[in-house]
Amino acid sequence: MTETPFQDYPVLVAALYRFAPVADPAALRERLIALCGEEVRGTLLVAHEGINGTIAGPHDAILRVVNGIHAEPGFDRLELKYSGANEMPFYRMKVRIKKEIVTMGLPNLDPVNGVGAYVKPADWNALISDPDTVIIDTRNDYEFEIGTFKGAIQPNTKTFREFADWFEKEGRDLVNRPNPPKVAMFCTGGIRCEKATAYLKSEGIPEVHHLEGGILKYLEEIPEPESLWEGECFVFDERVSVGHGLKLGEHTLCRACRMPVSPEGLKSPKFVEGVSCERCWDERDEERRAAYAERQRQIELAKQRGSAHIGTDAKIAAEQARIRAAEEREKARLAALKAKQQEADA
Protein backbone atom coordinates (compact mmCIF):
# COMPACT_ATOMS: atom_id res chain seq x y z
CA MET A 1 0.00 0.00 0.00
CA THR A 2 1.24 3.53 -0.77
CA GLU A 3 2.43 5.33 2.34
CA THR A 4 -0.20 7.69 3.71
CA PRO A 5 0.03 10.44 6.34
CA PHE A 6 -1.11 9.97 9.93
CA GLN A 7 -0.04 6.31 10.03
CA ASP A 8 -0.40 6.31 13.82
CA TYR A 9 -4.18 6.60 13.40
CA PRO A 10 -6.38 3.71 12.22
CA VAL A 11 -8.74 6.08 10.41
CA LEU A 12 -7.61 8.52 7.73
CA VAL A 13 -9.76 11.63 7.18
CA ALA A 14 -9.61 13.51 3.87
CA ALA A 15 -11.15 16.98 3.43
CA LEU A 16 -11.24 17.84 -0.26
CA TYR A 17 -12.72 20.16 -2.84
CA ARG A 18 -12.22 21.35 -6.37
CA PHE A 19 -14.04 23.89 -8.51
CA ALA A 20 -14.22 22.33 -11.98
CA PRO A 21 -17.05 21.92 -14.52
CA VAL A 22 -19.21 18.80 -14.01
CA ALA A 23 -21.39 18.08 -17.04
CA ASP A 24 -23.47 15.34 -15.41
CA PRO A 25 -23.59 15.54 -11.59
CA ALA A 26 -25.97 12.56 -11.34
CA ALA A 27 -23.59 10.28 -13.24
CA LEU A 28 -20.63 11.48 -11.18
CA ARG A 29 -22.62 10.82 -8.00
CA GLU A 30 -23.12 7.18 -8.99
CA ARG A 31 -19.42 6.74 -9.71
CA LEU A 32 -18.50 8.25 -6.34
CA ILE A 33 -20.93 5.99 -4.47
CA ALA A 34 -19.37 2.94 -6.14
CA LEU A 35 -15.88 4.25 -5.43
CA CYS A 36 -16.54 4.74 -1.71
CA GLY A 37 -18.02 1.26 -1.28
CA GLU A 38 -18.76 -0.03 2.23
CA GLU A 39 -15.56 1.10 3.97
CA VAL A 40 -15.68 4.86 3.45
CA ARG A 41 -18.06 7.20 5.26
CA GLY A 42 -18.64 10.94 5.19
CA THR A 43 -20.29 13.41 2.85
CA LEU A 44 -19.48 14.45 -0.71
CA LEU A 45 -21.36 17.26 -2.45
CA VAL A 46 -21.54 17.31 -6.24
CA ALA A 47 -22.67 20.27 -8.37
CA HIS A 48 -22.07 21.60 -11.85
CA GLU A 49 -19.32 23.74 -10.28
CA GLY A 50 -17.33 20.87 -8.69
CA ILE A 51 -16.92 18.54 -5.69
CA ASN A 52 -16.64 19.28 -1.97
CA GLY A 53 -16.64 17.06 1.10
CA THR A 54 -14.94 15.14 3.87
CA ILE A 55 -14.55 11.36 3.97
CA ALA A 56 -12.98 8.92 6.38
CA GLY A 57 -11.99 5.27 6.40
CA PRO A 58 -9.05 2.86 6.26
CA HIS A 59 -5.96 4.40 4.69
CA ASP A 60 -6.03 2.27 1.54
CA ALA A 61 -9.74 2.93 1.00
CA ILE A 62 -9.31 6.70 1.25
CA LEU A 63 -6.41 6.58 -1.20
CA ARG A 64 -8.60 4.59 -3.59
CA VAL A 65 -11.31 7.25 -3.48
CA VAL A 66 -8.87 10.15 -3.83
CA ASN A 67 -7.14 8.49 -6.80
CA GLY A 68 -10.55 7.80 -8.36
CA ILE A 69 -11.53 11.47 -8.06
CA HIS A 70 -8.19 12.50 -9.54
CA ALA A 71 -9.03 10.36 -12.57
CA GLU A 72 -12.23 12.33 -13.25
CA PRO A 73 -11.91 15.00 -16.01
CA GLY A 74 -10.88 18.34 -14.49
CA PHE A 75 -10.05 16.86 -11.08
CA ASP A 76 -6.39 15.98 -11.63
CA ARG A 77 -5.71 18.59 -8.93
CA LEU A 78 -7.59 18.68 -5.62
CA GLU A 79 -7.42 20.93 -2.60
CA LEU A 80 -6.78 18.05 -0.21
CA LYS A 81 -6.02 17.91 3.51
CA TYR A 82 -5.49 14.75 5.52
CA SER A 83 -5.87 14.20 9.25
CA GLY A 84 -6.13 11.17 11.49
CA ALA A 85 -8.78 9.83 13.86
CA ASN A 86 -8.87 7.02 16.39
CA GLU A 87 -12.50 6.24 15.59
CA MET A 88 -14.72 6.66 12.53
CA PRO A 89 -15.99 10.26 12.71
CA PHE A 90 -19.01 9.69 10.44
CA TYR A 91 -22.02 7.40 10.73
CA ARG A 92 -22.75 6.84 7.04
CA MET A 93 -21.74 7.75 3.50
CA LYS A 94 -23.74 10.43 1.68
CA VAL A 95 -23.18 11.71 -1.85
CA ARG A 96 -25.56 14.56 -2.59
CA ILE A 97 -26.27 16.67 -5.66
CA LYS A 98 -26.45 20.41 -4.93
CA LYS A 99 -26.79 23.65 -6.83
CA GLU A 100 -23.52 24.84 -5.25
CA ILE A 101 -20.79 22.89 -3.47
CA VAL A 102 -20.65 25.71 -0.94
CA THR A 103 -23.81 27.78 -0.75
CA MET A 104 -23.41 31.53 -1.09
CA GLY A 105 -26.50 32.17 -3.17
CA LEU A 106 -24.57 34.03 -5.91
CA PRO A 107 -24.58 31.66 -8.88
CA ASN A 108 -22.78 34.06 -11.24
CA LEU A 109 -19.58 34.23 -9.17
CA ASP A 110 -16.49 32.78 -10.82
CA PRO A 111 -14.39 31.17 -8.04
CA VAL A 112 -11.95 29.79 -10.61
CA ASN A 113 -10.89 32.92 -12.49
CA GLY A 114 -12.03 35.58 -10.02
CA VAL A 115 -10.50 34.21 -6.82
CA GLY A 116 -8.25 36.25 -4.52
CA ALA A 117 -4.50 35.76 -4.04
CA TYR A 118 -3.48 32.58 -2.19
CA VAL A 119 -1.22 32.98 0.84
CA LYS A 120 0.82 30.02 2.11
CA PRO A 121 0.55 29.23 5.83
CA ALA A 122 4.24 30.13 6.21
CA ASP A 123 3.52 33.67 4.92
CA TRP A 124 0.19 34.18 6.69
CA ASN A 125 1.55 35.60 9.97
CA ALA A 126 3.36 38.43 8.19
CA LEU A 127 0.21 39.39 6.27
CA ILE A 128 -2.16 39.50 9.24
CA SER A 129 0.41 41.23 11.45
CA ASP A 130 0.51 44.17 9.04
CA PRO A 131 -1.56 47.02 10.57
CA ASP A 132 -2.82 47.87 7.08
CA THR A 133 -4.51 44.48 6.73
CA VAL A 134 -8.19 43.87 7.51
CA ILE A 135 -8.63 40.25 8.66
CA ILE A 136 -12.03 38.68 8.01
CA ASP A 137 -13.20 35.32 9.35
CA THR A 138 -15.68 34.07 6.74
CA ARG A 139 -17.03 31.27 8.96
CA ASN A 140 -20.20 31.31 11.06
CA ASP A 141 -20.57 32.74 14.54
CA TYR A 142 -20.45 29.42 16.43
CA GLU A 143 -17.20 28.49 14.65
CA PHE A 144 -15.64 31.85 15.48
CA GLU A 145 -16.58 31.51 19.16
CA ILE A 146 -14.30 28.53 19.80
CA GLY A 147 -11.27 29.83 17.93
CA THR A 148 -9.96 32.38 15.41
CA PHE A 149 -6.90 34.40 14.43
CA LYS A 150 -5.89 37.30 16.62
CA GLY A 151 -7.50 40.54 15.42
CA ALA A 152 -9.99 38.88 13.07
CA ILE A 153 -13.39 40.43 12.33
CA GLN A 154 -16.35 38.04 12.38
CA PRO A 155 -19.52 39.05 10.52
CA ASN A 156 -21.71 37.19 13.07
CA THR A 157 -23.33 35.20 10.28
CA LYS A 158 -25.43 32.13 10.95
CA THR A 159 -24.81 30.76 7.45
CA PHE A 160 -22.38 31.55 4.64
CA ARG A 161 -25.33 32.76 2.54
CA GLU A 162 -25.49 35.84 4.83
CA PHE A 163 -21.90 36.92 4.07
CA ALA A 164 -22.65 39.10 1.02
CA ASP A 165 -25.43 40.91 2.88
CA TRP A 166 -23.06 41.58 5.80
CA PHE A 167 -20.46 43.00 3.46
CA GLU A 168 -22.95 45.38 1.87
CA LYS A 169 -24.25 46.61 5.23
CA GLU A 170 -21.08 46.63 7.34
CA GLY A 171 -18.03 45.12 5.68
CA ARG A 172 -17.67 47.66 2.89
CA ASP A 173 -17.07 50.43 5.43
CA LEU A 174 -14.03 48.53 6.69
CA VAL A 175 -12.26 48.80 3.35
CA ASN A 176 -13.62 52.05 1.87
CA ARG A 177 -10.58 54.23 2.61
CA PRO A 178 -8.53 56.68 0.53
CA ASN A 179 -5.76 54.10 0.63
CA PRO A 180 -7.60 50.74 0.51
CA PRO A 181 -6.18 48.19 2.93
CA LYS A 182 -5.22 44.64 2.12
CA VAL A 183 -7.94 42.14 2.98
CA ALA A 184 -6.96 38.75 4.45
CA MET A 185 -9.73 36.15 4.60
CA PHE A 186 -9.77 32.65 6.03
CA CYS A 187 -12.07 29.70 6.67
CA THR A 188 -11.81 26.05 7.78
CA GLY A 189 -10.44 24.40 4.65
CA GLY A 190 -10.33 27.21 2.10
CA ILE A 191 -13.46 26.60 0.03
CA ARG A 192 -15.62 29.38 1.46
CA CYS A 193 -12.80 31.83 0.80
CA GLU A 194 -12.71 30.82 -2.85
CA LYS A 195 -16.16 32.36 -3.21
CA ALA A 196 -15.82 35.11 -0.60
CA THR A 197 -12.65 36.52 -2.18
CA ALA A 198 -14.18 36.25 -5.66
CA TYR A 199 -17.18 38.20 -4.35
CA LEU A 200 -15.06 41.00 -2.87
CA LYS A 201 -13.05 41.28 -6.08
CA SER A 202 -16.28 41.46 -8.08
CA GLU A 203 -17.27 44.36 -5.81
CA GLY A 204 -14.12 46.27 -6.74
CA ILE A 205 -11.93 45.50 -3.73
CA PRO A 206 -8.40 45.37 -5.20
CA GLU A 207 -6.13 43.56 -2.73
CA VAL A 208 -7.89 40.43 -1.53
CA HIS A 209 -5.94 37.49 -0.09
CA HIS A 210 -6.89 34.22 1.54
CA LEU A 211 -5.18 31.48 3.51
CA GLU A 212 -4.33 28.62 1.18
CA GLY A 213 -5.60 25.34 2.59
CA GLY A 214 -7.51 27.17 5.31
CA ILE A 215 -7.13 26.95 9.06
CA LEU A 216 -6.58 23.20 8.94
CA LYS A 217 -3.48 23.55 6.78
CA TYR A 218 -2.17 26.33 9.01
CA LEU A 219 -2.65 24.24 12.17
CA GLU A 220 -0.96 21.30 10.48
CA GLU A 221 2.11 23.23 9.31
CA ILE A 222 2.74 26.06 11.77
CA PRO A 223 4.27 25.09 15.15
CA GLU A 224 2.20 26.24 18.11
CA PRO A 225 4.91 28.58 19.51
CA GLU A 226 4.87 30.50 16.20
CA SER A 227 1.12 30.39 15.69
CA LEU A 228 -1.26 33.36 15.78
CA TRP A 229 -4.26 31.06 16.04
CA GLU A 230 -6.19 31.25 19.32
CA GLY A 231 -8.46 28.41 20.50
CA GLU A 232 -9.65 25.41 18.50
CA CYS A 233 -11.06 24.92 15.00
CA PHE A 234 -14.57 23.54 14.58
CA VAL A 235 -14.83 20.66 12.10
CA PHE A 236 -18.03 19.23 10.67
CA ASP A 237 -17.72 15.66 11.91
CA GLU A 238 -17.66 13.68 15.15
CA ARG A 239 -14.26 15.07 16.14
CA VAL A 240 -16.04 18.42 16.67
CA SER A 241 -12.81 20.44 17.00
CA VAL A 242 -9.08 20.18 16.42
CA GLY A 243 -6.08 22.13 17.64
CA HIS A 244 -2.47 22.62 16.61
CA GLY A 245 -1.04 19.63 14.80
CA LEU A 246 -4.70 18.71 14.07
CA LYS A 247 -4.88 17.00 17.46
CA LEU A 248 -8.36 16.27 18.78
CA GLY A 249 -9.83 19.28 20.57
CA GLU A 250 -11.75 19.53 23.85
CA HIS A 251 -15.17 20.48 22.48
CA THR A 252 -18.09 18.08 22.23
CA LEU A 253 -21.34 18.35 20.27
CA CYS A 254 -24.81 19.16 21.52
CA ARG A 255 -26.95 16.49 19.85
CA ALA A 256 -30.01 18.74 19.98
CA CYS A 257 -28.69 21.81 18.09
CA ARG A 258 -25.48 20.30 16.60
CA MET A 259 -23.39 23.13 18.03
CA PRO A 260 -20.03 22.83 19.84
CA VAL A 261 -19.98 22.72 23.63
CA SER A 262 -16.86 23.70 25.57
CA PRO A 263 -15.65 21.90 28.72
CA GLU A 264 -17.09 24.83 30.70
CA GLY A 265 -20.41 24.47 28.85
CA LEU A 266 -20.63 20.83 29.97
CA LYS A 267 -20.85 22.08 33.55
CA SER A 268 -23.90 24.24 32.85
CA PRO A 269 -27.20 23.06 34.38
CA LYS A 270 -28.72 23.67 30.93
CA PHE A 271 -26.51 21.01 29.36
CA VAL A 272 -28.20 17.62 29.24
CA GLU A 273 -26.57 14.97 27.06
CA GLY A 274 -28.54 14.60 23.84
CA VAL A 275 -31.21 17.07 25.00
CA SER A 276 -29.94 20.64 25.31
CA CYS A 277 -27.07 23.05 25.94
CA GLU A 278 -26.81 26.70 26.95
CA ARG A 279 -27.14 27.77 23.33
CA CYS A 280 -30.41 25.97 22.57
CA TRP A 281 -32.10 25.66 26.00
CA ASP A 282 -34.33 28.69 25.49
CA GLU A 283 -35.21 27.64 21.92
CA ARG A 284 -36.86 24.37 23.01
CA ASP A 285 -40.09 23.83 24.92
CA GLU A 286 -40.64 21.00 27.39
CA GLU A 287 -42.29 18.81 24.78
CA ARG A 288 -39.31 19.15 22.44
CA ARG A 289 -36.82 18.42 25.22
CA ALA A 290 -38.82 15.36 26.22
CA ALA A 291 -38.60 14.09 22.65
CA TYR A 292 -34.83 14.59 22.61
CA ALA A 293 -34.57 12.85 25.99
CA GLU A 294 -36.44 9.83 24.61
CA ARG A 295 -34.14 9.73 21.58
CA GLN A 296 -31.10 9.83 23.87
CA ARG A 297 -32.58 7.02 25.97
CA GLN A 298 -32.95 4.89 22.84
CA ILE A 299 -29.36 5.62 21.84
CA GLU A 300 -28.09 4.57 25.26
CA LEU A 301 -30.18 1.39 25.19
CA ALA A 302 -28.79 0.58 21.74
CA LYS A 303 -25.26 1.01 23.08
CA GLN A 304 -26.01 -1.34 25.97
CA ARG A 305 -27.31 -3.94 23.52
CA GLY A 306 -24.28 -3.47 21.35
CA SER A 307 -26.38 -2.39 18.37
CA ALA A 308 -26.15 0.74 16.26
CA HIS A 309 -28.85 3.31 16.81
CA ILE A 310 -27.23 5.44 14.10
CA GLY A 311 -25.38 4.06 11.10
CA THR A 312 -25.75 0.93 9.02
CA ASP A 313 -28.36 -0.81 11.20
CA ALA A 314 -30.28 2.41 11.60
CA LYS A 315 -30.13 2.97 7.85
CA ILE A 316 -31.77 -0.40 7.28
CA ALA A 317 -34.39 0.36 9.91
CA ALA A 318 -35.05 3.77 8.33
CA GLU A 319 -35.49 2.18 4.92
CA GLN A 320 -37.91 -0.35 6.37
CA ALA A 321 -39.86 2.46 8.01
CA ARG A 322 -39.92 4.35 4.73
CA ILE A 323 -41.33 1.30 2.93
CA ARG A 324 -43.98 0.80 5.63
CA ALA A 325 -44.97 4.46 5.39
CA ALA A 326 -45.23 4.21 1.60
CA GLU A 327 -47.42 1.13 1.94
CA GLU A 328 -49.70 2.94 4.38
CA ARG A 329 -49.98 5.92 2.02
CA GLU A 330 -50.87 3.58 -0.84
CA LYS A 331 -53.53 1.87 1.29
CA ALA A 332 -55.01 5.25 2.20
CA ARG A 333 -54.99 6.32 -1.45
CA LEU A 334 -56.78 3.15 -2.56
CA ALA A 335 -59.33 3.48 0.26
CA ALA A 336 -60.04 7.05 -0.80
CA LEU A 337 -60.50 5.98 -4.43
CA LYS A 338 -62.84 3.19 -3.34
CA ALA A 339 -64.90 5.55 -1.22
CA LYS A 340 -65.10 8.04 -4.06
CA GLN A 341 -66.23 5.30 -6.45
CA GLN A 342 -68.92 4.09 -4.00
CA GLU A 343 -70.17 7.66 -3.63
CA ALA A 344 -70.38 8.01 -7.42
CA ASP A 345 -72.27 4.70 -7.77
CA ALA A 346 -74.77 5.80 -5.14
Which positions are annotated as active-site residues? 187
| CA atoms within 13 A of residue 16's CA, in its CB half-sphere | 28
Residue 14 C-alpha from the chain's centroid: 12
Give the residue among 230, 220, 213, 226 at the shortest CA–CA distance from 125: 226
Longest dimension (CA), the chain: 86
Cβ–Cβ under 8 Å, residues 284 and 277: no
CA distance 32 to 41: 12
Give the residue among 135, 93, 127, 158 at the shortest CA–CA distance from 315: 93
Give the residue among 312, 275, 338, 344 at the shortest CA–CA distance from 92: 312
| First-last CA distance in the chain | 75
CA distance 165 to 169: 6
Give ∠ CA 174-198-221 in degrees, rounded to 5. Answer: 85
Give the residue among 26, 37, 1, 20 at the shortest CA–CA distance from 72: 20
Cβ–Cβ under 8 Å, residues 78 and 56: no
